[in-house]
Amino acid sequence: MRNQSHTRSIRLGCIGLIAAFGLGLGPGPAVAAPGATPVGGEQLTGKGKIVNLGQGSDPLPDVFAKTWVVANADTGEILAAKGPHILRSPASTLKTLTALTLMPQMDPEMLIKAKKRAVNTYGSKVGLVRGRDYTANDLFYALLLPSANDAAMALAQGAGSIKSTLAQMNELADSLGALDTVAKNPSGLDAPGQVSSAYDLATIGRTALTLPYLREVVATKKHEFSNKKKSKTIYTQNRMLLGDFKGTIGLKTGYTTKAGRTFIGAAERKGTTYVVSLMGIKEASASAAEKLLGWAFANADTVTPIGVLGQNTTAAASSALVAQTTETQSPADAALAAVPTNTVTAGSNLDGLAIGWMLLFAAIIAFILFGVKSAFTTRKNRNRLTNKGKVSLEG
């Protein structure tokens, strides 16, 4: 009986091991298989600069950043990039995804009570007071102008919970084709496993521009933030918006010790909008962004695009995102429905890879079980021969 119990335990443990491997290889942060075409196009690889200059094109400006992407926000065509899929901490540029996820499902006049976890968060804050009510509108302005981490937490809690908000953020990122992004908190504060890429930030920024409400907020220089007792003026941190760069729309700044400076910016001239994203910036963020955007406006007609951003910006996409206010449609579902058929996505290849690994581990475990059973049988027979009249330890 002890032998059977021991064998059963081993079998259960092996089954658990198979299940664990299966779960580990199941749905999670999407990662391209070795040799697979990067999301957005086959040229979007490596750490260096990528550009197809045509006759008469100006050379790329010197931009001091680890990674960056500059693209046409209307068509999604990427004009140039540097290390577009390199994973880095996003810092507060992740708040763009937070806003993109929550804005369509929250009434701006909705009252949200500040809770302990939001009030006690660290870093940049607007100064929420525990127990006081704030409108979602004021919290969105605090989220995107002074980059308030307490506002990010309060909005996530007001939408249901931080956990559910993060699930929606990650689902929305995946549906947009931003497969490098993994959100671990709604504020962008450094957290283990929280990453994004210049490609993803440009994709998220491009989609954010399709929401009129979000676009209005990020283009604002100052806002009166209030509650029932007092109000105060809050200001944008986006120096590009405060400067004189022609056509600036604004978007989102970011900084943490781990991420360094990060930035998503956009500008529109003569009916054409360009979006830029930068990570690991080693100069003034606004200066770096303006150099790339200025180059894009001057050279778009002579440069051959190197790839495309994941989400197609169309009126239909904007309408679908706004329609997320219905109870039956999540932000990820609406955004997924808005993705056109020619959008580069990932999934089927990864599912096949996971199934293959599971089958391989199942075969290995089956072999181990067979070996264990054979070993027990051999040992039991040997004990019977050598220990006549005695009780075997396996008996």
Taking residues 25-38, report their average pLDDT.
51
- The answer to whether the beta carbons of residues 71 and 209 sit under 8 Å apart is no
Residue 333: what pLDDT? Answer: 42
What are phi and psi for residue 279, nearest 5 degrees? Answer: -135, 145
pLDDT beyond 90 at 15: no
Q: Which residues contact 380 (CB under 8 A, 6 or more apart)?
A: 3, 392, 394, 395
- Active-site positions read 92, 95, 147
Give the Cα separation of 231 and 243 in Å (integer).
26
Confidence label for 358 from pLDDT (cuts 50, 70 and 90): low
Which tokens sit at 352? 């096949």
The neighbouring-strand residues paired with 196 are: 88
- Share the mean pLDDT of the chain: 80
Of 13-27, 170-184, 326-340, the least confident: 13-27
Model pLDDT for residues 207-221, shown as the tens digit of each residue: 999 999 999 999 999
Confidence label for 363 from pLDDT (cuts 50, 70 and 90): low
Which tokens sit at 126? 């607007």
The DSSP element (H or E) to which 303 belongs, if any, is: strand 303-304
Measured torsion, CA atoms of residues 145, 149, 152, 158, in degrees rounded to the nearest 10: -130
Residue 364: what pLDDT? Answer: 59
- Residue ranges of alpha helices (H) inside 177-284 are 198-208, 212-218, 239-242
Give the Cα separation of 69 and 71 in Å (integer).
7
pLDDT beyond 50 at 326: no
Residue 260: what pLDDT? Answer: 98
Taking residues 2-12, report their average pLDDT.
40
Model pLDDT for residues 39-83, shown as the tens digit of each residue: 999 999 999 999 999 999 999 999 999 999 999 999 999 999 999
Q: Quote the percentage of the chain above a pLDDT of 90.
A: 68
Residue 365: what pLDDT? Answer: 56
CB atoms within 10 A of CB 216: 11
pLDDT beyond 70 at 338: no
Q: Which residue has the tokens 């089954």?
A: 15
Residue 229: what pLDDT? Answer: 75
pLDDT beyond 90 at 385: no
The helix/strand/coil state of 91 is helix
Give the Cα separation of 109 and 251 in Å (integer).
23
The one-letter code for the residue type at 21 is F
Q: Which residue has the tokens 């919290």?
A: 139
Give the Cα separation of 204 and 311 in Å (integer).
8
Give the Cα separation of 331 and 103 in Å (integer).
10
Distances (CA, A) of 197 to 85, 90, 247, 330: 5, 7, 25, 24
Task: Note the pTM of the prediction, 2 decimals.
Answer: 0.74
Which tokens sit at 178? 């931003």
Residue 366: what pLDDT? Answer: 52
Separate counts of helices (H) and strands (E) for the chain: 13, 12
The DSSP element (H or E) to which 176 belongs, if any, is: helix 162-176
* End-to-end Cα, the chain, rounded Å: 6
Give the Cα separation of 262 and 93 in Å (integer).
7
Taking residues 234-246, report their average pLDDT.
96
Give the Cα separation of 381 and 362 in Å (integer).
29
Q: Which residues contact 344 (CB under 8 A, 6 or more apart)?
A: 39, 40, 41, 177, 308, 310
Give the Cα separation of 211 and 363 in Å (integer).
50
The more confidently predicted of residues 381 and 392 is 381
- Residue ranges of alpha helices (H) inside 263-330 are 285-299, 315-322
Distances (CA, A) of 337 to 199, 261, 268, 331: 21, 33, 27, 10
pLDDT beyond 70 at 25: no
Residue 36: what pLDDT? Answer: 76
Strand 222-226 and strand 231-235: the pairing is antiparallel
Model pLDDT for residues 85-132, shown as the tens digit of each residue: 999 999 999 999 999 999 999 999 999 999 999 999 999 999 999 999
Residue 337: what pLDDT? Answer: 41
Which tokens sit at 391? 């009780």
DSSP classification of residue 105: G
Model pLDDT for residues 160-191, shown as the tens digit of each residue: 999 999 999 999 999 999 999 999 999 999 99
CA 190 from chain centre, in angstroms, equals 13
pLDDT beyond 80 at 259: yes
Taking residues 319-341, report their average pLDDT.
41
